[in-house]
Amino acid sequence: MIKKIFFQTIFLSFLFLIKTFAAESGGMPQLNPEFWVSQIFWLTITFGILYVVLSKLILPKISNNLEVRKSKILENIEAAEKQRKDSEEKIKEYNKIIQDNKIKAKNYYNQAREKILKDINKKKESLDSDLNEEIKKAELEIQDLKNKSPEKITKIAIETSNDLIKQLIGVEVNNSSISAIVEDLSKRKKSEYYGN
């Protein structure tokens, strides 16, 4: 209800206003030719000046600015592209250097390893030969000693038996007779003592 009244008031006041406007105004001021010539005159002047200044001074500047920006951007893009290529090449070079150095390092390692192995082998061999010599020497000595031992034993046996006889019977026995007996015995028992 209130809404209805509200809209009706608006409508009525609209009608009222239109009536008053119609009464007050003498038509459209646009159709009053009093200032037409003046408007045409000033329009020509202002628009003329606007056109001349824009077309001769300002628009060429703006278009020049746009061109310069375009070319600058293109240049920058080109430079960036070039730098990208350069950096890619440098990365390739870098990788190559690293690869080369890796190979070199491996070679060095292998060489050093071989050298060391060789040294070790050499030293081992020389050591082996030394040891062998020593062993041979020792063997020879042993053999020598072995060969010499029966004579000494015989000698000792003669002396001992001489001493024993002296102690037992108190008689000096001739050395030569004792040695003959000992030699006879040792000859007979040699295989038993030495296993030859």
DSSP SS3 for 172: coil
Q: Which of 53, 98, 105, 181 touches other proteins (CB under 8 A)?
A: 53
**How many other CB atoms are there within 10 angstroms of residue 183's CB atom?**
14
Q: Which of 1, 4, 19, 43 touches other proteins (CB under 8 A)?
A: 43
- Applying CB under 8 A, the span of 56-64, 106-114, 139-147, 165-173 interacting with other proteins comes to 56-64
If one asks whether residue 2 binds other proteins (CB under 8 A), the answer comes out as: no
- Applying CB under 8 A, the span of 16-24, 92-100, 132-140, 152-160 interacting with other proteins comes to 16-24
Query: CB-based contacts of 179: which residues, under 8 Å, 6+ apart?
Result: 154, 158
If one asks whether residue 65 binds other proteins (CB under 8 A), the answer comes out as: yes
If one asks whether residue 80 binds other proteins (CB under 8 A), the answer comes out as: no
Are 178 and 161 in contact, with CB atoms under 8 Å apart?
Answer: yes
Query: CB-based contacts of 194: which residues, under 8 Å, 6+ apart?
Result: 146, 150
Find how far residue 193's CA is from the centre of its chain: 75
CA atoms of 191 and 185, how far apart (whole Å): 11
Which one, 6 or 193, has the nearer CB to other proteins?
Answer: 6
**Site for other proteins, residues 165 to 184, rule: CB under 8 A:** none
Per CB under 8 A, residues contacting other proteins are: 6, 9-10, 13-14, 17, 20-21, 24-25, 28-32, 34-44, 46-47, 49-51, 53-55, 57-59, 61-66, 68-69, 72-73
